[in-house]
Amino acid sequence: MKKKVVTLGEIMMRLSPVQNKRFIQSNNFEINFGGAEANVAVLLSHLGLESTFVTKLPSNQIGEMVLGYLRSNGVDINNIAIGGDRVGVYYFEKGVSTRNAQVVYDRKGSSMSEAIIEDFNLEEIFKNASLFHVSGITPALGEDGIKIVKECIEYCKNNNIRVSVDLNYRSKLWSYKKFNKVMKEIVKGVDICIGWIDLDSSADEFTPVKFNNLEDEKLYFNKVFRLMKEELGVKHVATTLRETISASENTLRGLIYNGEEIIYSRKYSFEIIDRVGAGDAFAGGLLYKLLEEESYEEIIEFAVASGVYKHTIQGDASIATKEEIETVIKGMLAGGVAR
């Protein structure tokens, strides 16, 4: 029997200028659909798992477009609530070379942002589920979003369903102070946390962490992850470490903490077609291998390779197969033709 994963969150319409144009140059926009949890659901479906996505969509043709997109990617949509007025939109201008990407949100009043816990039948949603995945974007939608996430996690803990949380801080949705407070409550006792919370830090603003050398990096993460285990009861912590050479070229590596030690992946260097959703592809690859009960070395290597491969795919979600991701690990992604 296939293992079932449930993800819950908002899915949005993405509108992007074509041919690397800027917003102010554009008369035409390309449509994609995506959202952190939806992207994970799509990838897990392509990797062969039973994948259920839970959200709330309006009863109109845009809502039908979203349902069609999910259905075409093999995602179970039977527990999506119908109601509200609109699908949220975000405008994405792709970064190229020295020009950074730009994002403008138009999501206020979306169906999912106005969802309440009573919209969802948790017993039906989590029937036969092995794992529940959610991101920090969903509680950032408001107090009802926080309540929905907390009640879903509580239900899963009471029914022996593993829980994964991707912290996914978004400064345009809430303050770092509020994020820190809420997410500390949400990640308590979860099986997997993607990203980290520095419990020794009292900062009210998000500040990227920089290291002088690998030894300093290892000391920092050992301290942070150990505190997350001891004070929050988090069983696994995983994250990616990205270096930006330009908007068109990055490097990526990852690490996972298993409660005892940190295991690193190799470092990949690559050019970018579409960076959006790469973190979700990392999350999806991580969850897939954790459910397969592979070694931690195999888990983190596959997860990072999944994130790397997503950079070659246009749109928000990775539609890679297991075999395609494994070509990255084997060093076969060299631009040849598969015959």
pLDDT at 332: 54
Tens of pLDDT, residues 256-271 = 999 999 999 999 999 9
The radius of gyration of the chain from alpha carbons, rounded to an integer in Å, stands at 19
113 and 145 Cβ atoms separated by less than 8 Å:
yes
**What is the 8-class DSSP label of residue 290?**
H
Share of the chain above pLDDT 90, in %: 83
pLDDT at 83: 98
pLDDT at 333: 52
Three-state DSSP at 83 gives: coil
- Confidence (pTM): 0.94
Tens of pLDDT, residues 117-156 = 999 999 999 999 999 999 999 999 999 999 999 999 999 9
Q: Which of 80-84, 100-104, 180-184 is predicted least confidently?
A: 100-104
pLDDT at 105: 92
Q: Evaluate if residue 321 carries a pLDDT over 70.
A: yes
Q: Which amino acid is at 10?
A: E
The pLDDT-based confidence of 227 (bands split at 50, 70, 90) is very high
Tens of pLDDT, residues 9-41 = 999 999 999 888 898 888 899 999 999 999 999
pLDDT at 1: 77
Share of the chain above pLDDT 70, in %: 98
Which residues 6+ apart lie within 8 Å of 61 measured at CB? none
Tens of pLDDT, residues 180-217 = 999 999 999 999 999 999 998 777 777 788 888 999 99
The pLDDT-based confidence of 337 (bands split at 50, 70, 90) is very low
The candidate with the shortest Cα–Cα distance to 107, out of 16, 52, 173, is 173
pLDDT at 339: 43
> Helix 296-310 and helix 322-329: axis angle, to 10°?
100
Give the CATH architecture of domain 4-329.
3-Layer(aba) Sandwich (3.40)
- Give the mean pLDDT of the chain: 94
Tens of pLDDT, residues 36-59 = 999 999 999 999 999 999 999 999
The candidate with the shortest Cα–Cα distance to 12, out of 68, 62, 83, is 62
Residue whose pair of structure tokens reads 């308590």 in the numeric block: 188
Average pLDDT over residues 210-225: 93
pLDDT at 334: 54
pLDDT at 276: 93
Q: How many CA atoms lie within 13 A of 68 on its CB side?
A: 8
Q: Evaluate if residue 239 carries a pLDDT over 60.
A: yes
The pLDDT-based confidence of 97 (bands split at 50, 70, 90) is confident
